Amino acid sequence: MIIPKGERGKNGVYDISYGMETFKFPSVTTVLSSLHDKGLENLRSEIGEKCLNEISMRAANRGSVMHLYLENFAYALKAKGDRNKALLYSQKKTSDSVKNVYTIEECEKGLDFFYNIFHSEFIEEFKHPLLIEGLMVSFINKYAGRTDIIYKDFKNLIVLGDYKSSSSKVLPGSFKEKKYKLQLSAYINAFEEVYKMEIGYGVVWVAYPQGYQKIVLTKSEYPKYLSYFKSLINKVHLKQL
């Protein structure tokens, strides 16, 4: 099987190599950025662009710390097969990696968020990681992106997962929840296209200060969200013509 390779550029476009061919595809997050977030616009009006950017940067940094702890845990679990050893590895390696990159507060909050997910249902169903930070590409619909984790659960279903951090619980039916499910649908579609394996369901593990959330995209919901995502990607391609 030929596996696509590529990285996202600063313009939000992935340079993809697939065998001897090369492609330029917009990223999933770039496509979703075309959606209008009324709540974000209201917040920008209330506190101003500069303040919003500062808050967003701190949130992104603590999220990056959390992601790195979870990523290192998954790599160690895949290599060693021992959860306790994988946790110790992640704690040591990640702490050393982030301490001179982010502020002390960002590192501490990112670690707290990691523990919120680690001590959740996540660890009870996370049987074995299959693909970590995997590149997802749809050559049919012409887009690309990276999902945080693909793993087998204890029912032997293949699960496509992503990690998110949030300042508060994500409300059912909110813009943020819908956007997460659109993102999952895009990744599932691309994974199944390239790897020819069926995803059991998609999940976003969300850490927030008081705990965690498990937001699931079921197989019954999947077609609806994928159809809407395809309409968004078609608009992006039309603008590029």
- Judging by beta carbons within 10 Å of its beta carbon (0-12, 13-18, 19+), is residue 93 exposed, middle or buried? middle
For the entire predicted model, the pTM comes to 0.92
pLDDT at 89: 96
Q: Which residues of the chain have pLDDT under 50?
A: 241
pLDDT at 65: 97
CB atoms near residue 135 (< 10 Å): 20
Instruction: Provide the Cα torsion 30, 32, 36, 40; round to 10°.
Output: -80
pLDDT at 48: 84
Residues 6+ positions from 106 with CB-CB distance below 8 Å:
58, 61, 62, 65
pLDDT at 43: 56
